[in-house]
């Protein structure tokens, strides 16, 4: 008669190995489309109405660069000319390398129905997080 404890241990070992394999195999991203009322993943027939959108806080590295423009002065804090404002002729503005910490990238404000997105299913596929808008390479 087979040992029931060995059978139980074998079943538990197989199941744990399956869970570990799924855990370390990586998170699979999926393409989807934003709809008027949610998110439709390409590989899932139902629309996900309560999807999440990634919120990015990044550090930006600006290289050395130049811009050509004019300067107007004086102006108020909204950039509207004050009385007596004068504008310079075309001027080149040179900028040095600069890093800016904690720049907020708001993806949610830019996505709209019809947009293609890259999403990550989470919580066993119960939820989805949109991590990027995807555009065709022109």
> Please, which pLDDT band fits residue 26 given cuts at 50, 70 and 90?
low
- Per the domain annotation, does 69 fall within a domain? yes
Res 46: pLDDT: 85
Q: What is the pLDDT of residues 77-130, one digit of tens each?
A: 999 999 999 999 999 999 999 999 999 888 888 899 999 999 998 887 778 999
Domain of residue 66: give its range.
Answer: 57-104
> Please, which pLDDT band fits residue 12 given cuts at 50, 70 and 90?
low
Q: How far apart (Å, rounded) are the C-alpha atoms in residues 33 and 8?
A: 45
pTM over 0.85? The answer is no
Decide if pLDDT at 10 tops 80.
no
Res 17: pLDDT: 60
- Per the domain annotation, does 119 fall within a domain? no
- Per the domain annotation, does 88 fall within a domain? yes
Domain total in the chain = 1
- Per the domain annotation, does 135 fall within a domain? no
Q: What is the pLDDT of residues 28-57, one digit of tens each?
A: 889 999 999 999 999 888 889 899 999 888
Considering only residues 88 and 20, tell me which one the structure prediction assigns the higher pLDDT: 88
Whole-angstrom CA distances from 26 to 14, 40, 69 are: 19, 22, 48
Q: How far apart (Å, rounded) are the C-alpha atoms in residues 109 and 116?
A: 15
> Please, which pLDDT band fits residue 63 given cuts at 50, 70 and 90?
very high
- Per the domain annotation, does 62 fall within a domain? yes
Instruction: Over range 57-72, report the average pLDDT.
Output: 94
- Per the domain annotation, does 72 fall within a domain? yes
Going by C-alpha positions, the residue among 70, 68, 114, 71 that lies closest to residue 92 is: 68
Res 137: pLDDT: 84
- Quote the tokens at residue 67: 């811009």
- Per the domain annotation, does 95 fall within a domain? yes
How, if at all, do strands 52-53 and 127-134 pair? Answer: parallel
- Per the domain annotation, does 24 fall within a domain? no
């Amino acid at each position: 008669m087979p040992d029931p404890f060995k059978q139980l241990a074998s079943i538990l070992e197989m199941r744990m190995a399956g869970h570990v394999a799924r855990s370390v195999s990586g998170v699979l991203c999926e393409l989807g489309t934003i709809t008027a009322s949610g998110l439709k993943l390409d590989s899932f027939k139902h629309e996900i109405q309560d999807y999440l959108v990634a919120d990015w806080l990044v550090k930006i590295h600006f290289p050395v660069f130049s811009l050509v423009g004019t300067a107007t002065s004086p102006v108020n804090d909204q950039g509207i000319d004050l009385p007596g404002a004068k504008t310079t002729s075309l001027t080149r503005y040179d900028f040095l390398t600069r890093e800016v910490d904690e720049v907020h990238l708001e993806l949610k404000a830019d996505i709209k129905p019809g947009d293609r997105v890259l999403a990550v299913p989470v919580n066993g596929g119960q939820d989805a997080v949109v991590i990027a808008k995807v555009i065709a390479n022109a």
